[in-house]
Structure 1
Amino acid sequence: MCVFIASLNSGSNGNCYYVGNEQEAVLIDAGISCRETEKRMARLGLSMSLVKAVFISHEHSDHISGIPVLAKKYQLPVYLTPRTTFTGRQFLNPQMVYPFVAYHPVKIGNITITAFPKFHDAAEPHSFIVSCGDINIGVITDIGSACEHVIRNFAQCHAAFLEANYDEQMLAGGRYPYHLKRRISGGRGHLSNTQALELFIKHKPEYMSHLLLSHLSKDNNNPELVKQLFDEHADGTEIIVASRYQESAVYQIGNLVVPVTMPHHEYIPANVQYSLFQ
């Protein structure tokens, strides 16, 4: 068994993450347009026909704005918690909306999605572990602190999308008003580079092959800075910076030998150059 993962976009302008095997896939959040999602997946050799569901982490627009069109066009079930306010629900058939509960796994074919709670300034925010066989992929962004739920689940990941939103000095000396700086750095805002690195150093399992640093701030972070910071402590884990402007490569997690021509997927090796953004 192997798993294919990609960031289609990561940042305050939209978040969407792809996790799948050879038969099916899920999207975690859909904060970019349907058209942009289709274009980026096509460039990666990924097929929308494999996508079987969308899971919503919370109701902020950069995580849900693409859902009404995407779900309706492809008749995708949308999973969210009962308390998550999703203003686009009126555009969906009620039969397409499904609730999920923390630590109650949801099966989508051979994929299992397990949500867990986190601290963030939303109604009922969750992050996810997406499992295919014995391979676990974490999608852990928009977290104010590395609480026990985050730590416990991160420590099980073979690969993860992990928030590294801001550099403390850049945020403190930046142009944001004081109340916004407090919101970002508070316990229900976003994770700093230092906090993310501490989680990585203390709780990364030995078998973690890839870490995609995600949801970087445009104004309060620098992709080269954060990649260098994590590379110094990578210890065999491939560090990738997910862009707010374009899709990442597709990364294969697992040991299955991939054929030269593979239906629905264009395999891109883990050492592909990542794209830096401003």
Structure 2
Amino acid sequence: MLEICAIASGSNGNCYYIGNNTDAILIDAGISTKQILIRMAERELDPRKLKALFITHEHGDHMRGARVLAKRLQIPVYITAKTYNNAYKNLRPDYPRFFKPEDVIEVGGFSVYPVLKNHDAAEPCSFRVKYHDKNIGVFTDIGEACDNVKTHFSQCDSVFLESNYDEKMLWDGHYPWPLKKRVASDLGHLSNDQAFQLLDEHGSEKLQCVFLSHLSKDNNSPEKAFETMQPLSERFNIKLAYRYEASEIFTLQ
């Protein structure tokens, strides 16, 4: 059995759960430890199964709760040295375990593959997590899908896929012009259309579930994201990750 759940997903905080019968890991801890544990309890996910926390990059919405969570649960935090050194000092975990983007990390039966990507951070990595013959991908905070992302994405049985903004809503919206350019840049975020293209061209036949993730509160809506993905709904099971509550749990077959 392999279960996945978006504990939190959005610019206010991100946290993704991947677990089997005995072990589990989290990708990012961008909300408070209290909220992570509350949301896990609401979905009956046991924090005692957690064996490690992996950090994608140093932005607060991805590691705000990392230090406290690691100390509370006595679990290691895997992070690159560049990410650690560029994080705010009060967010840095006490006992980091450094990895390089080319490493494969073995934790609790999982093989975790860092995926170096394009984003405005020191050394941003997405992750592909393999357990037996199943692969789970966490692909958010990506300006554009490079070949590295495409290669790992195509191997996945389930993914958390960024669908951050609707282009019209972004350009017609209230964000300052420099921020609009940053969001839409090659080091920003994936739009609904870019997410559609990545899924359409590189989603494999074995892909069981796609959680649309990291939706912007101001420049997107669940309705817009789903509407964009509608032509792919017969090929893929498309679900939504939420900002203020954990998603449903999806069990891989």
Short-chain TM bin: over 0.9
Residue in structure 1 matched with residue 112 of structure 2 by the alignment:
113
Amino acid at match of 2:41: A
Residues in 1 aligned to 2:82 and 2:184: alpha-carbon distance in whole angstroms? 24
Residues in 2 aligned to 1:64 and 1:87: alpha-carbon distance in whole angstroms? 10
Amino acid at match of 1:206: E
Residue in structure 1 matched with residue 32 of structure 2 by the alignment:
33
Residue in structure 2 matched with residue 243 of structure 1 by the alignment:
242
Residues in 2 aligned to 1:91 and 1:16: alpha-carbon distance in whole angstroms? 17
Amino acid at match of 1:65: R
Residues in 2 aligned to 1:130 and 1:213: alpha-carbon distance in whole angstroms? 18
CA contact (8 A) 1:40 1:247 kept: yes
Amino acid at match of 2:88: T
* 1:122 shift after superposition: 0.4
* 1:101 shift after superposition: 1.5
| Sequence identity percentage | 45
1:6 is paired with a residue whose SS is strand
Residue in structure 2 matched with residue 153 of structure 1 by the alignment:
152
CA contact (8 A) 1:209 1:236 kept: no
Give the structure-1-normalised TM-score: 0.88
Amino acid at match of 2:19: G
Q: CA 1:238/1:55 → structure 2, altered by over 3 Å: closer, same or farther? A: same
Amino acid at match of 1:134: D
Residue in structure 2 matched with residue 181 of structure 1 by the alignment:
180
Residues in 2 aligned to 1:152 and 1:105: alpha-carbon distance in whole angstroms? 16
CA contact (8 A) 1:213 1:241 kept: yes
1:1-278 pair list within 5 angstroms: 2-84=1-83, 85-88=86-89, 92-93=93-94, 96-254=95-253
Residues in 1 aligned to 2:78 and 2:88: alpha-carbon distance in whole angstroms? 14
Name whichever of 42-51 and 229-238 sits farther off.
229-238
Deviation per CA, 1:15-55: give whole Å up to 9, x if none: 00001111100000000100000000001010000011000
Give the structure-2-normalised TM-score: 0.96
1:62 is paired with a residue whose SS is helix
Q: Displaced runs of 4+ in structure 1, greater than 3 A?
A: 88-93
CA contact (8 A) 1:114 1:130 kept: yes
Amino acid at match of 2:87: F
Residues in 1 aligned to 2:185 and 2:235: alpha-carbon distance in whole angstroms? 32
CA contact (8 A) 2:193 2:228 kept: no
Q: Which runs of 5+ in 2 are unaligned?
A: none
Report how many aligned residue pairs link the two structures. 251
Q: CA 1:88/1:45 → structure 2, altered by over 3 Å: closer, same or farther? A: farther
Residues in 1 aligned to 2:201 and 2:137: alpha-carbon distance in whole angstroms? 16
Residues in 1 aligned to 2:230 and 2:134: alpha-carbon distance in whole angstroms? 23
Deviation per CA, 1:101-136: give whole Å up to 9, x if none: 223210112111110100000011000001110100
Residues in 2 aligned to 1:22 and 1:231: alpha-carbon distance in whole angstroms? 34
Deviation per CA, 1:194-220: give whole Å up to 9, x if none: 011001111110010100010000000
CA contact (8 A) 1:20 1:111 kept: no
CA contact (8 A) 2:66 2:91 kept: no
Over the aligned positions, Cα root-mean-square deviation in angstroms equals 1.2
* 1:91 shift after superposition: 6.6
CA contact (8 A) 1:58 1:122 kept: yes
Residues in 2 aligned to 1:75 and 1:227: alpha-carbon distance in whole angstroms? 39
Residues in 2 aligned to 1:47 and 1:121: alpha-carbon distance in whole angstroms? 34
Amino acid at match of 1:86: A
* 1:88 shift after superposition: 4.6
Amino acid at match of 2:205: E
CA contact (8 A) 1:67 1:88 kept: no
CA contact (8 A) 1:141 1:162 kept: yes
Q: CA 1:26/1:89 → structure 2, altered by over 3 Å: closer, same or farther? A: farther
